[in-house]
Structures are given as structure tokens and as C-alpha cells.
Structure 1
């Protein structure tokens, strides 16, 4: 407690009034989610070698990751620079002056034009009596940690983005396959109707209806092809390649990767520690607490020492000799003794900023809990929906087969057959969309759990930063 009744703040993480049981994330014992430490490289659970290779390429070449690493090293350099504030700042200086004095200044009989040689060292050191230096270092450390959290968040986001786009690619290819299969079936129907009309057992209305349905299905194919191209281009950029580079590799149709039977979610406390956004909120709060403590320290004097040693002579031959040696010592005390009102208002301002960030931290935690619970629920319910859609697709396929048989036997009219085909296409397409959505919902769960960035170690980041510096030098040399 200071003499003015203003207390410095600690750097501890705020206490949250949350009651989270160990099974908060997983629920009942037979749940789809298990209270077991999650797998870090969650994308490997899809058991798709192509997806694994794309994640590896993004890990090595993604532009956003490169920028995040560079920003992290900038903040780390800033921290190291701030740590030097604990020690005296020493500067070397030297100068040469040739000048002429006015006639009313120099002593008669002496040379009014002369040289002056100066050289030495100046030093400055601020005492850390009231925590200014310590809090500057703590603030720089917190800034570095916030940048580290940003880097982790970028890794996590890029991994999830690559996986999501890959799943959407396979899902769109599956929809294209369904559309082409239905197109082939409808083409047969159109040709059959045309033959029956020519034979006099059908009519032009049935031909027109068959033609309309055929062309409607055909019209769904170009947008699907466009989506496939766009997704491949997006994946190419995510892995640091020119759009279109991965076309040959990814345009070959593959099934949607299978989903794991259970999801390892862990417990709530571990979940909160894995989230980069929560880690960043803590770091930003710590940075603001450092600013607040510095403002409190302004209530007290700032004590520093300055000084220098060196040589000064007007003759180069005497420079460095004992008579030319000089030194000075300059203690200084700065205190806002008559401006404490302004200092206290600044403290109030920094205190208010700190309170805002305390609440922002709590909001970040609650938002994280909301995200994970929502994504888990979406995933579980979509799996339930997918089971229903499988039954619907199966029943629609059987209905289409029966409708075709009854039409060819003359028991039902052509419109019933067309409706059955249309219903089958819709059911199969709905199922394909649900399969894609289930997988992307699972990716959202993994992202919300905060897993993936843990595979990145310090050595990899150091090597990556050195590679970026080498690449920058190479690009600079080429441009010159």
C-alpha cells in the first residue's frame, strides 16, 4: 500500500466464479465424447494420408504462419531489449572540432583558431526503487506472450482451415458424383420416354417432363465444378502454393474421410489451458497491469545516475594524457511533486482499463465454453440427423426402383416415376451434405478444444525464422 492509499496490482490470473465439473465437456458416461486427454494431431484421426500431407505443407509454407512467427520474434527482441534497462546504458562518443574565436573573446597573443579533440564514455542508469523497470520488463514479457498466443492461434486456425476445405472438397466431389449418376439415370429415362412416345405408348408431355428434369439435374453440375476449383485454389494458397498448383493432386475423386467413433475431449480445466485466445487474454491483462503499476510508481521520485569519463585536448599529442582526463557524475531526481493530481488521474485511467480487461478475460473464457458446448452439440445432432437421412435415401432408392418397374408395367403414370427420381436425388444430396457437415462440425470441435499448435516446438520455430531471414536476403539480392 502506498502512502497515497493506492495499491499496486499482482500479475495473478483473475479468479473466475465458474463451477465446472470434471465431466463438464463429456457429460454422461456413454457420451460420444470422452474425458481423456485429446490427441494433439487431431487431423490424423481422419486416417487420410492426403490430408496429413496438406497439413504438413501448410505447417511449412503458409504465409500467415510465416507472418505470425516474424511478429513473435519481433516481440521477443523487444523483451530482450527492455531487460537491458536493469543495467547502465553506456555510450561511446568522440568528436573533433576546429573553430575560431572572436577577437573580443580570445586572449591577445594567442591563436584564435584551434582544434579540440574529445573522446570518452557516457553512462545512464535508472534505479528500480519503485518498480518502474521491473514493470516495464513484465509488460514486455506479457507482450511477447500475447504474440506467442497469436502465433499458436494462427497455427490452430490454419490447420483447421486446411482440414475443413479438404473435407468440403471431398463432399462436393461426392455431390458431383451423385449428380452425374442421377443424370445418367435420367438420361436413360428420357430416351425410354422418347422411344415409348414414338411407339405410341406415351406422349409428348412425358417427354417434356423427362427433358426438364434431365436438364435441371445437368444444371447442377457446373456450380459443383466451380466450387471444386475454388476449394482447390483455396487449399493451394493455404499451403503456400500458387492457385491451381494442387489441381492434378486433388481433382481425383476421393471419399469423405471416416469419422472416429469417440472424441477425446479431456476435462474443462485442461481445455481452458489449451486455448490460445484465453492465453492471450491473460497476457494482455498482465501487460495492462504492468502499465497500471508504472503509473502508481509515478507517485514517487525517479532516481537516476548519469556520468561520463573521457579525454579532451586541443593538441592531438596531449590527447589521452593525464592532464586531458575528465569525468563527471550527475545524479538526478525527478518527481511530479506539484503535479500529483494529474498522476492520480492517470492511475484512475489505467485502473479502469485494467478492470475492463479483467471483464474481457472472463468473457473470453465464457465464449470459449460456449463455443465448445455448441460445436459438440452440433456434431452430435448432425450424426443423429445423418442416420435418418441414410434411411431416407435408402427408402427413396427403393421407391424409385418400384416406380420405374410400375411405370414400365403400365401400372402408374410417368409423373409418379419422375417424382420418385426427383425425391431420390434430393435424399442422396441431403445425405452427402450431412456427411460433409458432420466432418466439418468435428473439425470445429477440435478447433474449439484448442488442439494442434502443441506439435510446434521451439526448435522448429527457430529454424523457420532463420529460413525466413535467408529467403528475405535472397529476395532482396534478386531485386537489386
Structure 2
């Protein structure tokens, strides 16, 4: 018996050492800083982080209202909240095994003893009445229950970060749809002006044709340009309605009322956000998807520990206290009292590889969680770098187009002046206006892309979560 106890204690010590769970995130060979090349000189001066409610930095009341309503009413966020409730319930469910179980029992048994048995009345028939309280408690010497509880706790934390990831995704979708909608509103206005200009050009070409000053090819070309812009205008209006429908889905209600107060005035882009020129790479650690992957990795480590604990015996203490009698009238008399205390040790001898397979399964899932964490981190860095490339490219294109717009505006003003002085025909004014409006359409598209790239960058660095 003494040797058995020594062996048991030794195995406990060895198991305790082997069950030490290390929860350190793997080191990855990644850049220490994230910097924009176009802002490199400015980046050396300071390091900034975005505000938690980064969408408010645009100072756009309509955008703020859309985002806040989405955070309260979006179904994807509500689903994520439900997952949190599930995970928290699982933590409590698993954690309850650390405490003693207190229950009750009541039974009525009718039986007949064998005539061949040893007892006071062989072959007798009688009824037994029993009422009792029972207590059961498992000694968690090998960490099976505590490992399960910690695994469920880390999965709960993972669902919290998962909820934040869903929030960030929904906010990004709302902002992108809103900026696209702003662009479409402006583009519809420009396209309507462009259509009016092209119709005037077409009418002038027709008059020239009637007077023999232009051939039919010029007239048909003018008509085709009118028809093309008419189709463009229809497409823009259709896209505008689709974006409103998307916002309605994301926000959880129709956003039409939010735009009513600005219906009399043209919606326009807010001031572009000033993004931080330099960020430490550690800022990506706050990305909710990275945090969720890390917590899942921690949970998988405790899953392995719990599976390994199955190799060792379970020690359970049980106790019962109650009344037992063959006469119901005597059930609560002092002599009918009974009690018992027992200890139970159960463990595996031969299970045909069941426990070993469970350990291998847990280890394989841990490996999957590790690879998923590494992939999530590397993907995060790629998304940040991609967003910086997009921002720098779009900044350059917008500057070039704005310079071209200045030239076209000067050309338009010159053509107007020449027409007023009688030095040119009105057709020259319309042609220069057409080119100017076409460039403005391109600028609105680029602005929408630039604002969406800002949102992409904000999402890539984890927003304010």
C-alpha cells in the first residue's frame, strides 16, 4: 500500500511538471514599425494613434448617426453578442464541476429476498422507503477540470474579441457604403449637368447640319454622347439606390430619414482624416481578430492539458445522509437515520487508444490554432501595407487630377470670355464645359476610393478596438 501511495504521489508530481501550460505568443519576424513613405519625414517626428470612435474624427453627423445605429441594431453584431452569452454560459457550466454537487433522492423499493440467501428472513417480501441528501466531489488533482475551465474562459475572451471584429467590419462597411453614396450623389449632380451640356451641343450640331455647316457624322456623334451619358446617369441612380438599401441592411432600418434633413443641400465629403504617419507594429496586437486568434490558441493549450489528464485516475468523494425504513410511518424516526462516506478511484487500463487519440486530436487542433494565429498576424501586416500603397497611389492621382481640373477650369473661363467677346462660337464653351464635368466625375470616383482606402487602413490597424 505504501509503495502504491509513493508511486501515486510520484506520478502526480511528474504530471504536474509536465502539465505546465506555456501561454506565450510565438515570435514572428515582422517589421518593428509601420510607416507611410509619403509621410516619412513627418513620421520621424511623432507617433500617433487613432481615437477609439475613429468615425467621429470625420465630423459628419450623418455618418455618426449611421454608425451608432448600426452598433445598436445590426444583426451580425447581435449574433456576435449571442455567441458571447453562449461562451459565458459554457464557462459557468464547466466551472461548476470544481465545486461539490449536492443533490437529493427518494425511492420506494418492493423486493423479495432469496430463500437460499443468508439473512434474518430468507424468502421474505418487503418494501423499503428511502429519502436522502447526497454530496459528490471530484478532487481535481491532475488539472482536468481546471484545464477545461481555463479553456472555456479563453474561448469566452475569444468571442469578446470576435464581437469586436464583427463591429469593426460592420463599421467599415457602413463607412464605405456612406462614402460611396456621397460620391454617387455628387456624380449624379455632375452627370445631370453634363447631360444638359451635351444636349445643348447636340442641338447646336443639328442646327449646323440644317444650315449645311456640319455633316451627319458630327450630329450622330453628338447624339451618341448624349445617349451614353443618359445610360451613365441611369446606372449612377441605380447604384445610389442599391447603396441606400445596403445601408438600410447594415443599420437595421431604412436610413432615408437620415438624409431628409440634407435633401435641400448637396451632400459632400467631410474633411479627410489625418492618419498617423508612423505606428509601432505592436499596435496590430489590438486588432480584434488577432486577439481572438491568440485567445483561441491559449484555449487549445488547455484542451491538450485536459486531454492528457484523462490518462490519470479520477478521485471522487461521495457522501449520503437520510432516512430508510421498511415502514413508511417509521421513516422519520431517529432509528431510521443512515449515512455513508465513500471514496472512489477510477482510471484507465485498456481503452484501445481512445485517450491517446483524444490527446492527438487536441494537439492537432492546437497546431491549427497556432497556424491560424500566425496567418492572422501576417495577413494583418499585408493589409496595412496594401492600404498604405493604395493611399499613396490615390493621393498622387487626386493631386494630378486636381491640377488637370484647374487647367480645364481656366480653359472653360477663357472659352466663355472669348464667346462673350465674339471671338468664338458657343459650341467651344460647351466643349470645354463637357471636358471639365467629365474630369469632375473622375475626381468624385477617386475621392470615394480614397476615403474607402482610409477606412481600409483604419480597419487594418484595428480601429479603436
Please classify the TM superposition score into its range, dividing by the shorter chain length: 0.7 to 0.9
What TM-score do you get using the length of structure 2 for normalisation?
A: 0.84
Q: Does residue 23 of structure 2 align to residue 8 of structure 1?
A: no
| Further displaced range: 288-297 or 27-36 | 27-36
- State which of 190, 198, 201 in structure 1 corresponds to 2:202: 190
- State which of 92, 96, 114 in structure 2 corresponds to 1:80: 92
**Separation in structure 2 between the aligned mates of residue 261 and residue 244 of structure 1, nearest angstrom:** 30
Map of 1:306-385 to 2, 5 A cutoff? 306-339=318-351, 342-385=354-397
**Separation in structure 1 between the aligned mates of residue 234 and residue 258 of structure 2, nearest angstrom:** 20
Equivalent residues of 1:237, 1:243 under 8 A apart:
no
Map of 1:188-267 to 2, 5 A cutoff? 188-242=200-254, 248=260, 253-263=266-276, 266-267=279-280
| Further displaced range: 405-414 or 444-453 | 405-414
SS in 2 for 1:67: helix
What TM-score do you get using the length of structure 1 for normalisation?
A: 0.82
Equivalent residues of 1:20, 1:268 under 8 A apart:
yes
Alignment deviations for residues 63-92 of structure 1 (CA, whole Å, 9 cap, x no partner):
111111121022112112222211111122
Alignment deviations for residues 140-172 of structure 1 (CA, whole Å, 9 cap, x no partner):
101101111111111111111111111110011
**Separation in structure 2 between the aligned mates of residue 245 and residue 199 of structure 1, nearest angstrom:** 52
Equivalent residues of 2:408, 2:435 under 8 A apart:
yes
Counterpart in the other structure of 2:106: 94
Counterpart in the other structure of 2:187: 175
Q: Does residue 34 of structure 2 align to residue 24 of structure 1?
A: yes
**Separation in structure 1 between the aligned mates of residue 171 and residue 46 of structure 2, nearest angstrom:** 23
**Separation in structure 1 between the aligned mates of residue 243 and residue 97 of structure 2, nearest angstrom:** 51
- State which of 396, 403, 412 in structure 2 corresponds to 1:391: 403
Note the C-alpha offset of 1:59. 1.6
Note the C-alpha offset of 1:254. 0.1
- State which of 79, 83, 86 in structure 2 corresponds to 1:71: 83
Equivalent residues of 1:299, 1:340 under 8 A apart:
no
Counterpart in the other structure of 1:448: 460
**Separation in structure 2 between the aligned mates of residue 132 and residue 247 of structure 1, nearest angstrom:** 58
Counterpart in the other structure of 2:63: 51
Equivalent residues of 1:303, 1:332 under 8 A apart:
yes
Structure 1's unaligned 5+ residue stretches are: 454-480
Q: 1:443 to 1:95 in 2, by over 3 A?
A: same
Q: 1:405 to 1:85 in 2, by over 3 A?
A: same
Note the C-alpha offset of 1:444. 0.7
Equivalent residues of 1:302, 1:335 under 8 A apart:
yes
**Separation in structure 2 between the aligned mates of residue 266 and residue 320 of structure 1, nearest angstrom:** 76
Alignment deviations for residues 348-380 of structure 1 (CA, whole Å, 9 cap, x no partner):
443343233223222211111111121122112
Note the C-alpha offset of 1:117. 3.5
Aligned pair count reads: 448
SS in 1 for 2:332: coil
SS in 1 for 2:29: coil
Equivalent residues of 1:162, 1:238 under 8 A apart:
yes
- State which of 285, 288, 306 in structure 2 corresponds to 1:273: 285
Equivalent residues of 2:107, 2:130 under 8 A apart:
yes
Note the C-alpha offset of 1:262. 4.1
Note the C-alpha offset of 1:9. 5.0
Note the C-alpha offset of 1:403. 7.2
Counterpart in the other structure of 1:470: none
| Further displaced range: 187-196 or 432-441 | 187-196
**Separation in structure 2 between the aligned mates of residue 16 and residue 290 of structure 1, nearest angstrom:** 20
- State which of 142, 145, 149 in structure 1 corresponds to 2:157: 145
SS in 2 for 1:92: strand
**Separation in structure 2 between the aligned mates of residue 407 and residue 14 of structure 1, nearest angstrom:** 72
Q: 1:331 to 1:103 in 2, by over 3 A?
A: closer
Alignment deviations for residues 389-442 of structure 1 (CA, whole Å, 9 cap, x no partner):
12233334555666788899898998x999766654543222111110000000
| Further displaced range: 197-206 or 440-449 | 197-206
Q: 1:405 to 1:242 in 2, by over 3 A?
A: closer
Note the C-alpha offset of 1:19. 5.0
**Separation in structure 1 between the aligned mates of residue 67 and residue 208 of structure 2, nearest angstrom:** 55
